[in-house]
Amino acid sequence: MKYDIIIPIYNIEQELGKCLDSISCQTYGNFRAILVDDGSTDQSPFIAKSFAAKDSRFEYYRKENGGLSDARNYGIAKTSSAYILFVDGDDFLEEHTLCIIEQELSQHPVDVLEFNGWIVENGRKIGRVNRYYIDPGKIKSGKDYILDNVKARFLMPSVYLKAVRRSLIIEHRLYFAKGMLHEDELWTPKLYLLADTVKYIDSCLYNYVQREGSITHRADKTENVRHAKEIFYQLESYYRSLDLTRCQRNILTSYLARHMISVCRLSEKEGMTLRDRKFILRNARDVRSIGKMILSFLFPGHYQVLSEIVKKIIRY
């Protein structure tokens, strides 16, 4: 097989059929779908088993509940193909997703092929997942790819927008942090910095479904903020352990500082601690991060308003 598709499943009986149908109906068929049931208690196992029974490309596995990261890691252990894709069980693929990926990788076999996706809400495509990708079609080193995207504006960590060479994951033991929310934000920067070649194609191949009750849409963001902070601290340590120039390291850590400021504002309960302030102080090294730091430290109650005013001034 050329592609292994890992699909973590946990209590998504309403969405799972559409997800698996979208994989089964791919116009390119040389794939294996690894269905990892993470201890579901609804009808999801029945739906997944029915696909495995009627299509030999689908393999069903059940494990004790361990969370999304644990399910993905379990799926990685079952892979054997050249490339791995990750599809969340409540999302779905475009009909020609694998065909387009195969065309690209046959011409230029890269370590990571990145693509875009649609945001789907109430059955309608309401926009692209990422509006900030740069340099479509250009092959870069993983280091240049992450640095260029961070400098340009934004880094998209979502693993479901990538086809990744399996050997890169296995050789470097690039697994997901178990029990950690926002695990993509820790995993993806490491992936880029390990990859020799990365390429982005400007095609929306994935459908990211906005679902009420999902982890990313919780009203109480305290746990999300706590986990995001821990990821920033881990990435800071990781970046400082690498053979990077001071300029390269400053680009990456300034990005962390900006996001630390934003994340701390999502939860009054978690807030910004003294430790967080020290993190921001030692990592803010570019104009944007220093500006955000000054506003958040000196004018915390008016940060949002002042931030919008600064954006408008810069824009003009």
List all residues 6 or more positions away from 150 whose beta carbon is below 8 Å from its beta carbon.
251, 252, 255
- What is the pLDDT at residue 267? 79
Q: Where are the alpha helices (DSSP H) in the chain?
A: 13-24, 44-54, 68-77, 97-107, 142-152, 166-171, 183-194, 222-241, 246-264, 274-283, 287-298, 303-315
List all residues 6 or more positions away from 102 whose beta carbon is below 8 Å from its beta carbon.
2, 3, 28, 30
Identify residue 273 by its one-letter amino acid code. Answer: T
- What is the pLDDT at residue 259? 92
Domain ranges in the chain are 3-216, 219-315
The tens digit of pLDDT for each residue in 223-255 reads: 999 999 999 999 999 999 999 999 999 999 999
Supply the DSSP symbol for 57.
Answer: T
Tell me if 14 sits within 8 A of 93, measured CB to CB: no
Could you tell me the CA-to-CA distances from 175 to 109, 114, 168, 234 in Å, in that order?
Answer: 22, 19, 11, 15
Give pLDDT tens digits along the chain (316 positions): 699 999 999 999 999 999 999 999 999 999 999 999 999 999 999 999 999 999 999 999 999 999 999 999 999 999 999 999 999 999 999 999 999 999 999 999 999 999 999 999 999 999 999 988 999 999 999 999 999 999 987 888 999 999 999 999 999 999 999 988 889 999 999 999 999 999 999 999 999 999 765 545 555 678 999 999 999 999 999 999 999 999 999 999 999 999 999 998 887 787 889 999 999 999 999 988 998 899 888 877 767 776 766 565 554 3
- What is the pLDDT at residue 316? 38
Tell me if 248 sits within 8 A of 143, measured CB to CB: yes
Q: What 3-state class would DSSP assign to 267?
A: coil
Q: Encoding tokens for residue 237?
A: 């340590």
Rounded CA-CA distance 62/199 in Å is 34
| Pairing of the two strands 198-209 and 83-86 | unpaired
The CA-based dihedral angle spanning residues 66, 192, 169, 256, taken in that order and rounded to the nearest 10 degrees:
-30
> For the whole model, what pTM was predicted?
0.92
Tell me if 179 sits within 8 A of 69, measured CB to CB: yes
Supply the DSSP symbol for 214.
Answer: S
DSSP per-residue string spanning 15-30: HHHHHHHHHHT-S---
Looking at the structure, give the CATH architecture of the domain made up of residues 3-216. Alpha-Beta Complex (3.90)
Termini Cα distance of the chain: 52
Q: Encoding tokens for residue 66?
A: 């361990």
- What is the pLDDT at residue 220? 65
